[in-house]
Structure 1
Amino acid sequence: MITRLLVLVVATAGLTACTDEPAPRPAPDAKAVLAASTAELATGTYRYRVAVPAVSISGITDVARRRAMWTTTFHGADPKVIEIRLIDTDEYTRTGAARWQHFDQTRTPKMAERQGLTFTHPDRTSANQIVEAVTEATQEGQTIRGTIEGTSVRIAGLTLDSIESRLVKPLPFVAALDDHGRLTHLEVQLPPTPAPKSEPAAQWTLDITGYDVAAEVRRPVGSKEMPDSFYAGLD
């Protein structure tokens, strides 16, 4: 009798211990993880490179200090390079080896806003526009794969303008995160285009490095001030 009582006590204690164990946490939603990975693109400092068919863009953004610069290279038979630097509301632009030109954005605030050349639009990578269009995602380690609905991507900025005609259906993507959950790589597979363009399949790729590294964006020496007549009627 005593032995049976001991067995019951031990068994009951074991059941109680099992019920006190915390339930396993559900795996994080891959779409939510991916959305969170782009937060610092609107608040932090980073370097990036975007490559799309016929165009590549390399830049630095330092949101806290309101500094940014990027170089856009149009590849092909007649290549062209355009450089832009932003220091608060001062915009400096040049094409190729031409002289830098200075624009005062406070004189054309609406135009600067429309063109996305203000720090109310600090993320110039277009990563957020891609992430917002994600329909399915799965995560394995620091890699997230899935699809985006191409027709729902918001076209904003040069990094997506050149591929707008290819964003026509669900497209596969792959993203990579760093140890802090920040986006470091994103690529979208683009379909070929029909005749008359007949462009082959390609990739839209984004690589991000240099998180938390202060940006060295300086005012160009000897820039040309745009005359008053330039600003007339622009805003």
Structure 2
Amino acid sequence: MTTRRLTVSGLALVTALSFGVAGCNDNGTGTAAPSGAAGTAATSAAADPRQELAAAATKLGSDTVKVKMSMAGGLNGSGAMDPAAKKAQMAMNVSAGAQSIKMDIVMLDKDLYLKITGMPNMSNKWMHVDASKVKAGSSLDVMPGGDPAGASKMINSVVDVQRDGEHRFKGTLDLTKAQSANAAALSALGDKAKAVPFTATVDGQGRLTDLTVQMSTLQPGVGDLKTSYSDFGAPVSVNKPPAGQTTEAPSELLNLFNA
């Protein structure tokens, strides 16, 4: 039970990273919405809720934003991103029973700093990674070029979506289609991962503000993965870890995340 719960928690972390901290793209313009630019989506939104949701996610790449996420008994985290300045920071905890892992991520342009606590034989320092060596679709790919806020990842994963009242949507996701999906975790979960319910909310300006993925359908009791976006336009401060507390990440770690 604990192993399966950790598998779901790990997949939740991947999902959160895919839809949460991927808001910093290479140019910060937020112009790369799938199946048409955000401006075009405004005209088609009334006829296509998928495009409206895509446009709402894309808008997260056009301003600073704070992010919070939680999953009862499995994951919680918070952070902030500034797409124009190409910087982001996140702090997350993943747990399953007595096992708990804390992950801190700092992104400054092409430099990624990662600190993991609670994993055996792991350095207690910040580990530096050259972002150019991070595989596209990796959990560490927090600045995917041309995909602000992971919009295309979301749309690629959507099986169906429909409006659920004003500014609200509901549908299902196929997590096997997410670019950064964890193959081992998905294999353990089987076909359940192909039809995971979700709900989403946008604000009056068409920005995604809440996304809830019902991870409980994968394993009863783990809770829903809830992500919220707020404080649009507020200043974001991201600091580089002190040199004395930094070391280069071992290739084995990068290989693990790039798998």
Secondary structure class of the residue paired with 1:50:
strand
Deviation at 1:213, TM superposition (A): 1.8
Which residue of 143, 148, 163 maps to 2:172? Answer: 148
The structure that is helix-richer by fraction is: 2
Given that 1:60 and 1:69 are in contact with CA atoms closer than 8 Å, whether structure 2 keeps it comes out as yes
Give distance in 1, aligned partners of 2:106 and 2:146: 13
Question: What letter is aligned with 2:213?
Answer: V
Moved more, 160-169 or 59-68: 160-169
Give distance in 2, aligned partners of 1:210 and 1:161: 36
From the superposition, tell whether residues 170 and 78 of structure 1 become closer, same or farther in structure 2 (CA, over 3 Å). closer
Question: Which residue pairs with 1:203 in the alignment?
Answer: 224
Give distance in 2, aligned partners of 1:224 and 1:141: 48
Question: Which residue pairs with 1:12 in the alignment?
Answer: none
Question: What letter is aligned with 1:210?
Answer: D
From the superposition, tell whether residues 51 and 153 of structure 1 become closer, same or farther in structure 2 (CA, over 3 Å). farther
Give distance in 2, aligned partners of 1:122 and 1:83: 24
Question: What letter is aligned with 2:203?
Answer: D
- Counterparts of 1:23-62 in structure 2, within 5 Å, are 27-52=46-71, 54-62=74-82
Question: Which residue pairs with 2:160 in the alignment?
Answer: 135
Question: What letter is aligned with 1:218?
Answer: N
Which residue of 134, 141, 161 maps to 1:111? Answer: 134
Give distance in 2, aligned partners of 1:120 and 1:139: 30
Give distance in 2, aligned partners of 1:114 and 1:149: 17
Q: Deviations over 1:87-126 (max 9, x none)?
A: 11222222349754252516xx233546343523587975
Question: Which residue pairs with 1:185 in the alignment?
Answer: 210
Given that 1:101 and 1:224 are in contact with CA atoms closer than 8 Å, whether structure 2 keeps it comes out as yes
Give distance in 1, aligned partners of 2:129 and 2:173: 38
Secondary structure class of the residue paired with 1:38:
helix
Give distance in 2, aligned partners of 1:67 and 1:93: 14
Question: Which residue pairs with 2:24 in the alignment?
Answer: none
Given that 1:102 and 1:226 are in contact with CA atoms closer than 8 Å, whether structure 2 keeps it comes out as yes
Question: What letter is aligned with 2:52?
Answer: V
Given that 1:37 and 1:183 are in contact with CA atoms closer than 8 Å, whether structure 2 keeps it comes out as yes
Give distance in 2, aligned partners of 1:42 and 1:135: 24
Given that 1:63 and 1:122 are in contact with CA atoms closer than 8 Å, whether structure 2 keeps it comes out as no
Secondary structure class of the residue paired with 1:168:
helix
From the superposition, tell whether residues 157 and 57 of structure 1 become closer, same or farther in structure 2 (CA, over 3 Å). farther
CA RMSD of aligned residues (A): 3.8
Given that 1:41 and 1:122 are in contact with CA atoms closer than 8 Å, whether structure 2 keeps it comes out as no
Deviation at 1:32, TM superposition (A): 1.9
From the superposition, tell whether residues 155 and 149 of structure 1 become closer, same or farther in structure 2 (CA, over 3 Å). same
Question: What letter is aligned with 1:67?
Answer: K
Secondary structure class of the residue paired with 1:32:
helix
From the superposition, tell whether residues 78 and 57 of structure 1 become closer, same or farther in structure 2 (CA, over 3 Å). same
From the superposition, tell whether residues 88 and 141 of structure 1 become closer, same or farther in structure 2 (CA, over 3 Å). same
Given that 1:55 and 1:72 are in contact with CA atoms closer than 8 Å, whether structure 2 keeps it comes out as yes
Secondary structure class of the residue paired with 2:99:
coil
Which residue of 85, 89, 100 maps to 2:110? Answer: 89
Give distance in 1, aligned partners of 2:228 and 2:168: 14
From the superposition, tell whether residues 34 and 111 of structure 1 become closer, same or farther in structure 2 (CA, over 3 Å). closer
Secondary structure class of the residue paired with 1:211:
coil
- What percent identity do the matched residue pairs reach? 19
**Structure 2: 5+ residue stretches without partners:** 1-44
Aligned residues between the structures: 201
Give distance in 2, aligned partners of 1:123 and 1:51: 23
